[in-house]
Structure 1
Amino acid sequence: MNSTSFRPRWFVPGDLNGFFGLVVDNLSILGFIAAALIGIFQFPADVVFTRMFPGTALGVLVGNLIYTWMAHRLAQRTGRDDVTAMPLGLDAPTSIGMALLVLGPSFIGFKQAGLDESAAALATWQLGMASLVVMGTLKLVLSFFGDAITRAVPRAALLGSIGGAALTLLGFLPLIETLRSPVVGFVTFGLLLYVLVAKGKLPVRIPGVLLAFIVGTTLYYGLGLAGLGTPGFKVPEATALAFTLPLPTLGFINGLRDTVPYLPLLLPFGLLMVVGGINVSESARAAGDDYRTRDVLLAEAISTLVAGFCGGVAQTTPYIGQPAYKHMGARLGYTLLAGLFIGLGGIFGYVSGLVQWLPVAVLAPIIVYVGLDITVQAFHESPRKYAPAVALAFLPSIAYLLVIKVGNPAWIAPENFAALYNGVDSHGLPDLATIVTLGNGFIITAMIWSTALVAMIDQRFGRAALVLLLGAGLTLFGFIHSVDPRGGIYLPWHVVGLGKAILWQFVGAYVALAVLLGLLGLQKPQVQAESR
């Protein structure tokens, strides 16, 4: 068959399964973003639904259109009718991280700085746009150097750092939201584990995630209307559909300055998407669809930038499940349908309506599952000898989890938090100051620690020392171990008081260990024949 004259089919029956799976994934993430911002941080709902969501959904549309076109081109070139498009959607870890670690805290911070709710919401939205532009630009540049990055940073460090965030921030925090409506949340979560982990058989031929959403939502409203639900149950008010065209705006420029304190989070978020894109390309190639890695990464970067320029606040990524969609029978049409459904839903408002009617106790379990899956992947996809390095990478994220809870102004007044932070005793640095300093920049910290331990396991002590010296340099300017409770970066000579002591103690710790490992590395290599 002449491949130039071959015309692949745009839609096959399997595309319907792929469509539901991809749409549910994106709706669950949008729903949790809304639940976190509106429910936890009391963020104005109209800003979330009419300003943040349209641009965010547009990024999903643009990315899926590009991936659909790439699949069609590959099918034409190869003369194959079984090519499956690369699925693209909102990235769960970084999207939830944006809501819980960037947008929500910044909204509270703007209000504490004296802005009224409307002005604080506008400033937060502009910060979200600017964050996407920063991450999208980084991904655009790194898309040409992705392979070099994966060679420089061990997989255990890359996966371990995000695995720690997944276990604590995507696993534990949404689990609390799940169990706030125990019957609904526990049943939904259990059903998801049945279909996704145990691979249990279903009595109906519909995607398992969709069935879990239907069962959980039915339980929530059924128990609530019968008076058996959790206290405070109420049916959401019907929201009128609102047409919002996500046009390009320069509003992100106003938010660029405010991204500086969050760079220790934003830069690793962008880097992880590049590494993830490389892994996804390899996964698709193994499944028989040979997409050019650089094209996959460029499409991802472009969709993120489009979203940022048009008001979006959550970055897109190619999903790791391309072979799973191929096994479902999906081909070219599912990404086109899903992209149009999400993109147009953001513009016409029906996505916001769906999200408002989906209970948090139904949305949160899928995020918990994603957290577990990413955590398990961190161990499975790394050589067994590097398991301690993966586990080590989890610890800084636990510190950040404690900071999120302890630093919540609704629990502890800011002045009381400051008093705890500055309380010195005879045992060393204050407990809370140590926890905050460890948690700030936790993803980069995890990568530094894990990379150094991998080098030590490989008996490359000189490399471990260099990595630790890099950690000292990053600590000096607050990219990791920032002594600013908000996690901001700074010039070291501007730090005063207790912060100055903490700063130099942590810098000294990295330098001291680097020197020690460098000296130990000068020894004659140990003969490995002793261990039998």
Structure 2
Amino acid sequence: MQTIFRRWLTPGDLNGFLGLVVDNLSILAFLSTALIGIFGFPADIVFLRMFPGTALGVLLGNLAYTAMARRLARLTGREDVTAMPLGLDAPTSIGLSLLVLGPAFVGFKQAGMDPHAAGMATWQLGMASLVIMGVLKTVLSFFGASVQRHVPRAGLLGSIAGIALVLMGFLPLIEILKQPVVGFAGLGIVLYALVAKGRLPFGLPGVLVAFLLAALLYYVLGPLGLLGSGYRAPPVWQWRFALPWPTLEWTHGMAYAMPYLPLILPFGLLMVVGGINVTESARAAGDDYSTRDILLVEALATLAAGFCGGVAQTTPYIGQPSYKAMGARSGYTLLTGVVIGLGGVLGYVSNLVELLPLSVLAPILVFVAIGMTVQAFEATPMRYAAAVVFSFFPAIARMVTIKLGDPTYVSFEHFAALYNDRSHGLSELAVIAVLGNGFIITSMLWASFVVALIDGRVARAAGIVLLGALLTSVGLMHSATLAGSVYLPWQLDAGAQAMVWQFAGAYLALALILLLLSLQRLDNAKKSV
């Protein structure tokens, strides 16, 4: 019995389990905190409908990756094979909650729905979004290498770093500073353990210690009145039993999802490229997994989650070599899948995440944001640094729009009036909003365009800019609607059409200039011959 136990579970697996399960819990906690705390979402829909299906994706994906690791160990005769870690993707889960689900819920209420009906419609939208991403990832899993060839790494990593910097980094940093005694302590531990690689007592994981220390400060200082009005007493523990049964509710959300395609589709694309990168990372560490199989498993896990009520997609995590270094094998993914999967069904996951206020969670999100932004520069040649930086601007515009349009400060009607004020040309607010609409695609395209220029491929740059004009004309980039929806330009009113043609015309004009410059370069090349 002891031999069997050691075969499936090593001390390194326990360390790996603590790190991987905390990562997943932190994302679930942020998802619920953002929806319930920021947007006033009905908690029962989050915990009884969204969580079970979302956790099911983590369970199925980790079980499959565990089996793949065991199979690779048998084929190679090695006992040190480490499973690929799988969990909920932080950038897209946070982006989906802040940019899609939360705003959609507010929009449904403004359209006259009561909070529960608006929550159900938003849940259906979230399921549909996951199904769309799952289908896209399933198809692209067979063409991963082609995706990497046609989209420069600066574009892919720059766009996701933009999300990380302003949505995962700056906004959570504000939450830290709302309760600085709690949040700064946690952030300091995270920076010490994960950035500076400092050793904690007994070799404890930095994320776990940061959570425990920040939570301890919160629940000790809060009742003493030392945290001001931001303290909330711990909720009463309750069992929330809910099986993630397959449902067709997602079909009702397809119509709701269409306006959000400029965000949903890039989220799926980013996971394909990320899966390719982490598979290469694992291969370099000695575990040669099939890239197609890694991508296909996580795509099918995302689809299964969407069919069963989930709203956050799974992804293979980039830290496989780190888990290998700590001695983890295949037991840690098995444990994580079972704990998270059963937690979604039995409800103890929802109780755990309720114990973690945003000021406790925010430090790990800031660390992830720092890491992803640094990676965008480290993983691309230095000559493309300008392209990475240029790709940040649309994300910054989106963040400014989110804060300016916060209904806590500005009514929707007043915000819309300022947006539509064209008494002196395009209003500054309209320009910021239009730049931020479809910002992920815009970031990819802008970085790709600059990379082509740096490489001296001016004609290719012109083609990329021409693609920008096409995407702008239908709202996949720079949507002229306040909601950022897609459209056919003749469906818009005259004012919005004028905005579309100005932005699309700008891309067309630049494409023409670049084509002329490319002819000049070609002519110079002929003369030199």
For the superposition of Structure 1 and Structure 2, which TM-score range results when normalised by the shorter chain? Answer: over 0.9
1:431 correspondence with 2:431: no
Contact persistence 1:261–1:487 (CA under 8 A): yes
The equivalent of 1:163 in structure 2 is 161
The superposition leaves residues 166-208 of structure 1 with CA deviations (integer Å, 9 ceiling, x where unpaired) of: 1001111111112111100011011100000011121232111
Separation in 2, partners of 1:60, 1:284: 20
The equivalent of 2:476 in structure 1 is 479
> Partner of 1:253: helix, strand, or coil?
helix
> Quick one: which of 328, 349, 352 aligns to 2:350?
352
Q: After superposition, where does 1:24-423 map in structure 2 within 5 Å?
A: 24-423=22-421
The superposition leaves residues 250-284 of structure 1 with CA deviations (integer Å, 9 ceiling, x where unpaired) of: 00000001101100000000000000000000000
> Partner of 1:522: helix, strand, or coil?
helix
Which moves more between the two structures, 74-83 or 167-176?
Answer: 167-176
> Partner of 2:203: helix, strand, or coil?
coil
Separation in 2, partners of 1:222, 1:527: 73
The structural deviation recorded for 1:527 is 9.4
Do the aligned partners of residues 516 and 452 (structure 1) sit closer, same or farther apart at CA in structure 2, a change above 3 Å counting? same
Contact persistence 1:8–1:76 (CA under 8 A): no
Separation in 2, partners of 1:397, 1:453: 17
Paired amino acid for 1:141: V
Separation in 1, partners of 2:495, 2:371: 40
Contact persistence 1:174–1:364 (CA under 8 A): yes
Separation in 2, partners of 1:293, 1:493: 43
Contact persistence 1:421–1:432 (CA under 8 A): yes
Separation in 2, partners of 1:208, 1:51: 31
The runs of 5 or more residues in structure 2 that have no matched partner are none
Separation in 2, partners of 1:464, 1:33: 38
Q: How many matched pairs?
A: 522
Contact persistence 2:19–2:207 (CA under 8 A): yes
The structural deviation recorded for 1:8 is 9.3
> Quick one: which of 491, 513, 518 aligns to 1:494?
491
Contact persistence 1:438–1:481 (CA under 8 A): yes
> Partner of 1:171: helix, strand, or coil?
helix
The runs of 5 or more residues in structure 1 that have no matched partner are 1-5
The structural deviation recorded for 1:227 is 2.5
Paired amino acid for 1:398: I
Paired amino acid for 1:122: M
Contact persistence 2:85–2:320 (CA under 8 A): yes
Paired amino acid for 2:224: A
Separation in 1, partners of 2:7, 2:523: 61
Do the aligned partners of residues 113 and 351 (structure 1) sit closer, same or farther apart at CA in structure 2, a change above 3 Å counting? same
Paired amino acid for 2:285: A
> Partner of 1:204: helix, strand, or coil?
helix
> Partner of 2:8: helix, strand, or coil?
coil
The structural deviation recorded for 1:236 is 2.2
The superposition leaves residues 338-382 of structure 1 with CA deviations (integer Å, 9 ceiling, x where unpaired) of: 100000000000000000011211111111111111111001100
Paired amino acid for 2:463: L
TM-score by length of 1: 0.96
Contact persistence 2:95–2:167 (CA under 8 A): yes
The structural deviation recorded for 1:242 is 1.7
Separation in 1, partners of 2:203, 2:412: 52
Contact persistence 1:8–1:72 (CA under 8 A): no
Contact persistence 2:163–2:395 (CA under 8 A): yes
The equivalent of 1:3 in structure 2 is none
Structure 1 residue runs of 4 or more that deviate by more than 4 Å after TM superposition:
525-528
Which moves more between the two structures, 199-208 or 504-513?
Answer: 199-208
% same residue: 64
Q: After superposition, where does 1:7-18 map in structure 2 within 5 Å?
A: 9-18=7-16
1:520 correspondence with 2:509: no
Do the aligned partners of residues 459 and 8 (structure 1) sit closer, same or farther apart at CA in structure 2, a change above 3 Å counting? farther
Separation in 2, partners of 1:367, 1:393: 21
Paired amino acid for 1:457: I
Separation in 1, partners of 2:400, 2:256: 24
The equivalent of 1:506 in structure 2 is 503
The structural deviation recorded for 1:232 is 3.9
Separation in 2, partners of 1:332, 1:232: 41
Separation in 1, partners of 2:503, 2:36: 37
> Partner of 1:490: helix, strand, or coil?
coil
Contact persistence 1:94–1:315 (CA under 8 A): yes
The structural deviation recorded for 1:514 is 0.4
Separation in 2, partners of 1:413, 1:334: 48
The superposition leaves residues 48-75 of structure 1 with CA deviations (integer Å, 9 ceiling, x where unpaired) of: 1111001100000000000000000000
Which moves more between the two structures, 227-236 or 105-114?
Answer: 227-236
> Partner of 1:521: helix, strand, or coil?
helix
Contact persistence 1:7–1:76 (CA under 8 A): no
Contact persistence 1:421–1:430 (CA under 8 A): yes
Do the aligned partners of residues 417 and 7 (structure 1) sit closer, same or farther apart at CA in structure 2, a change above 3 Å counting? closer
Contact persistence 2:179–2:230 (CA under 8 A): no
The superposition leaves residues 453-493 of structure 1 with CA deviations (integer Å, 9 ceiling, x where unpaired) of: 10010110100000011000000100000001000000111
The structural deviation recorded for 1:20 is 0.1
TM-score by length of 2: 0.97
Separation in 2, partners of 1:161, 1:316: 19
Separation in 2, partners of 1:456, 1:238: 59
The structural deviation recorded for 1:131 is 0.4
> Partner of 1:161: helix, strand, or coil?
helix
Do the aligned partners of residues 525 and 31 (structure 1) sit closer, same or farther apart at CA in structure 2, a change above 3 Å counting? same
Separation in 2, partners of 1:491, 1:97: 26
